[in-house]
Each structure stands twice: as C-alpha cells, then as structure tokens.
Amino acid sequence: MDHKELEAYFKSLDRSFFVEDDMKQYATLDQPLPIGFGQTISQPSLVLEMTRLLEPEKDSRVLEIGTGSGFQTAILAKMSAEVFTVERIEELMTKAKKRLDALKFANIHFKVGDGSKGWPEHAPYDRIMVTAAARILPDDLIIQLANGGRMVIPVGPQYLQELQLITKTDKGDINIETFGMVRFVELKGKYGWTE
Ligand code: SAM
C-alpha cells in the first residue's frame, strides 16, 4: 500500500459530506459522530489506523462490514480494486450509496443484510474490514478471507473490544495480532448481538 497516497486522500476527504446537517459543524473533530439509527461515523484517526493495518493493495478485492456513512468505504474504494460493502440498515445504505455515487466511485458493490455472515457469493476476499464490534471472531468471515489475506475487526464485549488483525498465510493458517482497545457499536446478527 502507498501510505502517502492514503494520507493524501484521507486529508482531502471532507468528512462533513458524510454526516447530516446538524453534525457538519463537528466534522473536523477527531471524534465519532452520530449518523442516525443509533449508529456512528468512526473517529477519523481510527479509520486511518485500521486502513493502515488492513494494507489494501491496488488489486485487492475488499469486503467491508458496516457501511455506515460511507466514509471508510470511500477510502477503501480509493486504495483497492473493488469493494463489497454490507450494511444492515437500509436507510443508512441508501444515503451512503448516494454520497459514494456523487464521488464517482464505480468499483463499489452494495448489499443490505447481515454482514456478520459476509457475502459468500463474491468470496474469497483479499481484505476484510469490519467496523462494528463482534462478540466472537466470525468463522464465516475467516472462511471468506483469501490465503495471504488480512482482516481487521474489533472483537469483545459490548463496551470495549480488542482491535484484531487476522492474517491468513499462503497455506491457510490463521494468525491473530491485537492492537489495543477500541469502542465500536455492536455488530448485530450471527456473530454479534441480538437485534
Ligand atoms: N465505517 C462506517 C463509517 O465510516 O461511517 C462506520 C460504521 S458504524 C461504526 C457500524 C455500522 O455497522 C453501522 O452502520 C451498523 O448499522 C452496521 N452493522 C452492525 N451490524 C451489522 C451487520 N450484522 N451487518 C451489516 N452491518 C452491520
């Protein structure tokens, strides 16, 4: 991954474009902000850190779970070949898609549904980014991660999780590294919390 390109695009991206009118004045703060439906756009510095850990390449096919506002999706789409993004709340997905279409991205595929089970029809993925907190590491996502792939995911109880980097070797073995504690909204569904 070209870190300079990532940082330049991250700086150029206007976060106020991804939030509702009443939140635009707070968009430059390094804080999560509400986006409706009890959900949040993540803290920008954490979005950058997680993208650095994910290391998308220009030929990567990326699965993203938790489209939210579409802010992280834009960064992934800029830094990779194709993004498959899944969001369970249809209204959030509609708004995110409108924003990403306005930014002229043509390499993003959208799905409304339970992303904790991934998107098996398009697997395997070189990279998987999960931006909601899983109760346990989702087996379905591990299966859908390509050999040589990387997955970034917060795992743990509802109010504090470990940020985990899962790497799959070329032979298919799994390694798990942790990168401190984070606080994400709940991943609902099979490997998360009940609706
Ligand atoms: N990355 C987003 C952004 O840049 O705005 C922020 C994502 S927000 C912290 C987490 C999102 O995950 C929410 O929009 C929530 O609805 C979604 N979510 C939670 N459980 C999900 C599931 N099982 N499948 C798909 N999306 C889910």
Q: Domains of the chain, with CATH numbers?
A: 3-182 (3.40.50.150)
CA distance 41 to 14: 13
Q: What is the pLDDT of residue 189?
A: 86
Q: For residue range 141-181, list pLDDT tens digits in order.
A: 999 999 999 999 999 998 899 999 999 999 999 999 999 99
DSSP letter, residue 187: P
Give the C-alpha distances (Å, rounded to integers) separating 79 from 7, 125, 133: 11, 15, 24
CA distance 15 to 28: 7
The string over 128-157, giving b where at least 16 C-beta atoms fall within 10 Å of a residue's C-beta and e elsewhere, is: bbbbbbbbebbebbbebbbeebbbbbbbbe
CA distance 168 to 184: 24
Q: For residue range 31-87, list pLDDT tens digits in order.
A: 999 999 999 999 999 999 999 999 999 999 999 999 999 999 999 999 999 999 999
> Which atom, in ligand 1's list, is nearest to the CA of 35?
5
Whether the link from the prior residue into 124 is cis, omega within 30° of 0, is yes
Active site residue 12: no
Ligand 1 pocket test: pick from 48, 187, 190, 194 the residue with the most ligand atoms within 8 Å of its Cβ: 187
- Within 13 A of 171's CA, how many CA atoms are on the CB side? 2
Q: What is the pLDDT of residue 8?
A: 97
Of 42, 60, 80, 116, which residue is the catalytic one?
A: 42
Place of tokens 């799959």: 168
Q: What is the pLDDT of residue 194?
A: 76
Decide whether any atom of ligand 1 lies within 6 Å of the 41 Cβ.
yes
CA 98 to centroid of chain Cα atoms: 18
Cut 0.95: pTM above it: yes
Task: Give me ligand 1 centre to Cα 186, in Å.
Answer: 8
Say how many residues make up the chain: 195
